[in-house]
């Protein structure tokens, strides 16, 4: 079974093709472009390239796995709309994975994972010694996160690296979501042919652009 795996919740546009078998998983193609302004432009190109590298056509995909964030509105939306459109067009299931979980996977804990939320904030979650998420995902200033962490020993993710001095933790692991990790987190659902899931984005805050309100009356 082949699964298209993708994430656009961070400045990294990441794509992979995973071959999922009854007893394992192999990444047969993987690529990434780090550019927070090129999500829409880069994603389709990376998908086509990974399909070509894997030697399969899009109609041979059995599932789509997508990172649901948290992430900024525009970039995250590009990935989820694309994933949903492919799943719908091919009539295959789609599965969501928290993008922070795909950074934390395999690193152990206690661990803080943080990505850049802009506005001098981070998207974050914490994980226990077994790797299970125990707090988050949330969005806060790094200093506020530091004040409320209990027993966290290390940090991972680009946000953790960016604010390492404030967070006061050694940084380890990948900066961006790992496609092999994302595939592993969804592998049991792919194997079981589980029902498709709504790809609900974790925006965590309202987009900057809003609909205009009622025009104010001007007294003359």
Model confidence at 37, pLDDT cuts 50, 70, 90, reads confident
Task: Read off the pLDDT of residues 95-131 as tens digits, 9 standing for 90 and up.
Answer: 999 999 999 999 988 999 999 999 999 999 999 999 9
Domain that residue 61 falls in: 2-98+177-192
Q: Would 53 be classed as within a structural domain?
A: yes
CA-closest candidate to residue 28, choices 8, 10, 52, 63: 52
CA–CA dist 83, 43 (Å, integer): 10
Q: Would 36 be classed as within a structural domain?
A: yes
Task: Read off the pLDDT of residues 49-72 as tens digits, 9 standing for 90 and up.
Answer: 999 999 999 999 999 999 999 999
With a CB cutoff of 8 Å and minimum separation 6, the contacts of 156 are 103, 104, 107, 111, 112, 113, 114, 171, 172, 173, 174, 175
- Both tokens assigned to 10: 């961070």
Can you give the CATH number for the domain in which 136 is found? 3.30.420
Report field, pTM of the whole predicted structure over 0.85: yes
Torsion of CA 20, 30, 101, 1, to 10 degrees: -10
Number of domains in the chain: 2
91 and 123, same domain (yes or no): no
Look over the chain and give the mean of its residue pLDDT values, rounded to a whole number: 93
62 and 92, same domain (yes or no): yes
Can you give the CATH number for the domain in which 79 is found? 3.30.420.40
24 and 88, same domain (yes or no): yes
């Amino acid at each position: 079974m082949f699964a298209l795996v993708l994430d656009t919740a961070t400045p990294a546009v990441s794509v992979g093709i995973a071959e999922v078998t009854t007893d394992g998983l192999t990444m047969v193609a993987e690529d990434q472009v780090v550019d927070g302004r090129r999500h829409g432009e880069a994603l389709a190109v990376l998908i086509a390239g990974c399909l070509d590298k894997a030697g399969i056509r899009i109609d041979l995909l059995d599932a789509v796995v997508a990172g649901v964030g948290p992430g900024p509105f525009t970039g995250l939306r590009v990935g989820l709309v694309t994933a949903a459109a492919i799943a719908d067009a091919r009539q295959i299931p789609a599965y969501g994975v928290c993008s922070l979980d795909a950074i934390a996977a395999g690193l152990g804990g206690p661990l803080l994972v943080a990505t850049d939320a802009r506005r001098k904030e981070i998207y974050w979650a914490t994980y226990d010694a077994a790797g299970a998420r125990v707090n988050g995902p949330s969005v806060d200033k790094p200093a506020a996160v530091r004040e409320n962490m209990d027993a966290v020993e290390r940090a991972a993710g680009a946000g953790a690296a960016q604010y390492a001095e404030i967070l006061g933790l050694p940084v380890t692991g990948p900066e961006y979501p790992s496609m092999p990790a994302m595939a592993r987190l969804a592998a049991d659902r792919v194997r079981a042919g589980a029902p498709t899931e709504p790809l609900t984005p974790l925006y965590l805050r309202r987009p900057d652009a809003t609909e205009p309100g009622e025009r104010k009356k001007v007294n003359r």
